[in-house]
Each structure stands twice: as C-alpha cells, then as structure tokens.
C-alpha cells in the first residue's frame, strides 16, 4: 500500500487500517512506512536493508525462500487487461533485491494465471 508524501493522508485512519489488517492476519507482522525518504521508497532497497540490518530480531532472511507480490508490475494493456499498470516499481523492487516476483493474480490464483503477461521496464534503471 503506497502513501504519497504530497497527498493528504489521514494518519490516524491509516493506522487503524493497518491495525485492522494485522488483526485479520492474526500472526506476527511488521509494518514499515516511508513517506519522504527516497532511499526507503520502492524501487530503492533502503526499507528492506533496514529490516535486514536492525528490525528483524536477528532472524536471517532466506532470499531463496522469499518472494514479492505486487500489482505495479509494468504490465501492458491487452485483451485481458483493459488498462496498463500504473507503474513497474514493484517488479523493479523485487529485481533489485533478487527476489522472485508475482503479480497478485499469479500468487492468489495460480491455476487461472498460468500465462506470462507482457510488461515494460524503463529503458534506464538507475535504481
């Protein structure tokens, strides 16, 4: 879930939304939010680096067993997708970390989304 710095976001409402999600999940969860620091915003890896370095209780993260699910996958418009994705930042974030990447459709409905979709990445990826 993204928060853009220049847009007004009700902080109290956002906290309640996160608390409700955590309650629904019912297990241990960590929430990281960056509203301003560019290095902590996707596709940069600053937030992940912070998690690994100091926020995970010395529990090592196995990248080979990790993956990232995101809807900003750079998917193009096609017969099954009337509008292209708004961004490819989630796919770039996973690439920058060397993680497997899935769209929500691929992750939650694997039998229905066997076909790989076309996607576009920026011509120059400085991140």
- In tens, the pLDDT along 39-77 reads 999 999 999 999 999 999 999 999 999 999 999 999 999
- Does residue 3 form part of some domain? no
- Does residue 98 form part of some domain? yes
- Regarding pTM above 0.85, the answer is no
Q: Total structural domains in the chain?
A: 1
- Does residue 110 form part of some domain? yes
Instruction: Return the pLDDT at 127.
Output: 58
Q: Which domain holds residue 82?
A: 62-122
- Does residue 86 form part of some domain? yes
Q: What is the pLDDT of residues 17-27, one digit of tens each?
A: 999 999 999 98
Instruction: Return the pLDDT at 71.
Output: 94
DSSP letters, 54-101, are HSSTTPPP-GGG-EEE-S-S-BPP-SS-SS--S--HHHHHHHHHT-EE
- Does residue 78 form part of some domain? yes
pLDDT exceeds cutoff 90 at 93: yes
- Does residue 26 form part of some domain? no
- Does residue 70 form part of some domain? yes
């Amino acid at each position: 879930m993204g928060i853009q710095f220049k847009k007004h976001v009700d902080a109290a409402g956002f906290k309640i939304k996160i608390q409700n999600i955590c309650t629904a999940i019912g297990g241990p969860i960590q929430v990281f939010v960056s509203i301003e620091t560019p290095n902590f915003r996707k596709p940069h890896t600053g937030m992940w680096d912070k998690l690994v370095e100091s926020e995970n209780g010395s529990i090592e993260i196995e990248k080979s067993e990790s993956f990232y699910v995101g809807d900003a996958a750079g998917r193009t418009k096609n017969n099954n997708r009337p509008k292209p994705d708004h961004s490819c930042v989630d796919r770039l974030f996973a690439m920058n970390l060397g993680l497997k990447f899935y769209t929500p459709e691929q992750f939650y409905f694997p039998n229905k989304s066997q076909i790989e979709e076309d996607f576009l990445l920026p011509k120059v990826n400085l991140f």
